[in-house]
Amino acid sequence: MSESPPAEAAAPWKVPAFTEDVFAPRRSRYAVCLFVINEGVRVRSQLCKMAALHSGCDIIIGDGGSKDGSLDAAFLKECGVRALLTKTGPGKLSAQMRMALSWCLKEGYEGVVVVDGNDKDDTAAIPLFTAKLDEGFDHVQGSRYIPGGMAVNTPPFRHWGVALLHAPLISLAAGWRYTDTTNGFRAYSRRLLLNPRVQPFRDVFTGYELHYYLAIRAGRLGLPVCEVPVTRAYPAEGGIPTKITGWRGNVMILQTLGRACLGRFNPAPPPL
**pLDDT tens, residue order, the chain (272 aa):** 444 455 554 578 999 999 999 999 999 999 999 999 999 999 999 999 999 998 899 999 999 999 999 999 999 999 999 999 999 999 999 999 999 999 999 999 999 999 999 999 999 999 999 999 999 999 999 999 999 999 999 999 889 989 999 999 999 999 999 999 999 999 999 999 999 999 999 999 999 999 999 999 999 999 999 999 999 999 876 555 555 555 576 688 889 999 999 999 999 876 65
5 lies in a domain? no
Give the CATH number, domain containing residue 94.
Answer: 3.90.550.10
Residues 213-250 as b/e (b if ≥16 CB within 10 A, e otherwise) read bbbbbbbbbebbbebbbbbbebeeeeeeeebeeeeeee
Compute the Cα dihedral for 3, 5, 7, 10 and give only its sign.
negative
40 lies in a domain? yes
271 lies in a domain? no
237 lies in a domain? yes
What's the total number of domains in the chain?
A: 1
270 lies in a domain? no
161 lies in a domain? yes
The residue range of the domain holding 202 is 18-261
How many Cα atoms sit within 13 Å of 47 on the Cβ side? 30
